[in-house]
Structure 1
């Protein structure tokens, strides 16, 4: 089994040729925007592209294209000194802004990027660059609190010469409109299920073709999500989830209690997070299938299409939409105020049972 490399260590970017071309075109035009916003779902390669851009810029644009023409790729070669400096987090002209730690032992990350995390940008932009460019990478920009965002905005309003800010954003709507307006946007699209399956096979050669296909669909265009689900036993949990739902309109109550007990334990954070995310995701799929009147209904595991068809026939789409929203709110409230996890799962599944009997 191999681990997924950190984006700063990854040399390969698959499925985002257009985004890379758009940056290269801007670079070759000589009119490079001073701030770039890389958007798209989490886990599809935005940070990998950000580091790829950083290495390229810090290397002065690589070695050029064929016959000394403009560069045709962001790749600068695995043996370039910049590659090793960035990987070792030792390049003095690159500052990476991420959530800091809450303690000196670095055991727990903060929930947001605070102003102390972004002050390092000012330090960088007041020094002379070694390679001509000074570069800031913010991952992820939507995690900045208001004070941190305002500090970054001031930098974007009066950027120094040869300074580049690259921001990764999973939810650009959460950013200040004034930040978005000062950035050139690169929108990355979700990866295809086939691409995710191929990449996942490289990370998890122990998985069968059936498991790879199922995880690729569960990943929803995100390799990061598919890898995380594989590591956390997400496919087995999903099968358990569908197994319980398949008994509707009359749940197997003892099996439900056993499942909720296992997932809701205080030391089962990963299983709780995975199951609640998969449950709300499955309900969203149910609603989308209802909106399409069952057309193109796909299955991750056998029997899902029949289950969805049965549930959609039992109650109106509006009522399933309402249940999806309430279930998501219930799980969020459970996390926010530390409610009983087992009880929250029981409440959600029993609400499903009642609606399936409507």
Structure 2
């Protein structure tokens, strides 16, 4: 009887996935699943993360809006990468899936958005088989064996098919986007068309590492919820939880050093702990800290380290450090006016475009590293000149 029941459940699940377009969106069985662009190993995927650290005010704001019956149709969850924005978005999606009626006693009495991993809605979401939830992220490309560099307009249109039919789960229809930074102009406009005139009982949860770069027409139709870096104790607890969930063990001293350097980001703490070469991280950090002065011998050493097969980790670490440096520069000069910020913003846009072209066309990483330091040197010099005009000769 149990065997027959399992066969029946499996058949119903396959029928449900086909009906709600899950196969169209590329969701596969776990055994066949490609790497996920919105997961950072060794941590569990945010949809499988049930422990939550920090951001109590943000969580309370989402919960209060829902049970008061004033839930906006779209939220932008903004803040630095790796601090828990996606975990909060999935936490909210699980809560609505488990409690579709905001007036229900369980919602009115809830202290937070927690839903246990064994709840049927949580299990469906973890398996990506919840019919009324669409996930938008950079998809895996079988031909190139890489993730797409952007969320395409076709990805958006496929995901939005859930709004062309009644809610199959009897509650909310949701779209979770991780992240808005990966849109191009066409895909962002495709999303805008639906946010402008949303169907009833729908919710867009938009993760954004750089919310300022989202289309103004999208931002104007969303409620923004800005999350800050985790406090040191929260960061340590979150990183430890992620490592325990992955069955990873790390030396206590390495753990403390990584958390101290991670700037409130669990992602960065895990990257530092998993880095096979802390000397490379130190080399990049030293080169960035000396700007606008440049020791080109060290830059060439960095360039040599990111070239060749098996060096993807070093290249990713280099990119992460560069954009973290730019983000810190923008925060540092935030109150000093647009003239001081413009050089960093222009450098960010240029380098992001160069990095995207490098991945698409398989260009030379060594040359890219040299371009990065040329751009950052020019940006830092221009920003300093804007703050101190007398420095201009």
Query: Which bracket does the TM-score occupy, shorter chain normalised?
Result: 0.7 to 0.9
Measure how far apart 1:31 and its partner are. Answer: 1.6
Partner SS, residue 146 of structure 2:
coil
Counterpart in the other structure of 2:166: 128
Measure how far apart 1:259 and its partner are. Answer: 5.8
Matches within 5 A, 1:196-235: 196-204=235-243, 206-233=249-276, 235=278
Question: How far apart, CA to CA, are the structure 2 residues paired with 1:347 and 1:273?
Answer: 14
> For residues 233-283 of structure 1, what are the alpha-carbon distances to aligned partners after superposition, in whole Å with 9 as ceiling and x for unaligned?
363422455688999x99796x88666533434542321332354367569
Of 294, 303, 311, which residue of structure 2 is paired with 1:268? 311
Farther-moved stretch of structure 1 (88-97 vs 328-337): 328-337
Counterpart in the other structure of 2:153: 115
Question: How far apart, CA to CA, are the structure 1 residues paired with 2:227 and 2:141?
Answer: 32
Residue 14, structure 1, aligned to residue 53, structure 2: yes
Distance 1:343 1:20, change over 3 A: closer
Of 112, 120, 128, which residue of structure 2 is paired with 1:81? 120
Farther-moved stretch of structure 1 (267-276 vs 90-99): 267-276
Q: What count of residue pairs does the alignment treat as equivalent?
A: 320
Q: Alpha carbon RMSD of aligned pairs, Å?
A: 4.1
> For residues 140-197 of structure 1, what are the alpha-carbon distances to aligned partners after superposition, in whole Å with 9 as ceiling and x for unaligned?
1231222211121111111111111111111112211111111111111111233223
Counterpart in the other structure of 2:232: 193
Question: How far apart, CA to CA, are the structure 1 residues paired with 2:135 and 2:69?
Answer: 25
Partner SS, residue 156 of structure 2:
helix
Question: How far apart, CA to CA, are the structure 2 residues paired with 1:206 and 1:25?
Answer: 38
Q: TM-score, normalised by structure 2?
A: 0.67
Mark the runs of 5 or more structure 1 residues left unpaired by the alignment: 291-320
Counterpart in the other structure of 2:85: 46
Mark the runs of 5 or more structure 2 residues left unpaired by the alignment: 1-40, 334-340, 382-393
Question: How far apart, CA to CA, are the structure 2 residues paired with 1:207 and 1:69?
Answer: 41
Measure how far apart 1:56 and its partner are. Answer: 0.6
Partner SS, residue 130 of structure 2:
coil
Question: How far apart, CA to CA, are the structure 2 residues paired with 1:49 and 1:35?
Answer: 14
Counterpart in the other structure of 2:32: none
Partner SS, residue 182 of structure 1:
coil
Asked whether the 8 Å contact 1:125–1:134 carries over to 2, the reply is yes
Partner SS, residue 155 of structure 1:
helix
Asked whether the 8 Å contact 1:58–1:131 carries over to 2, the reply is no
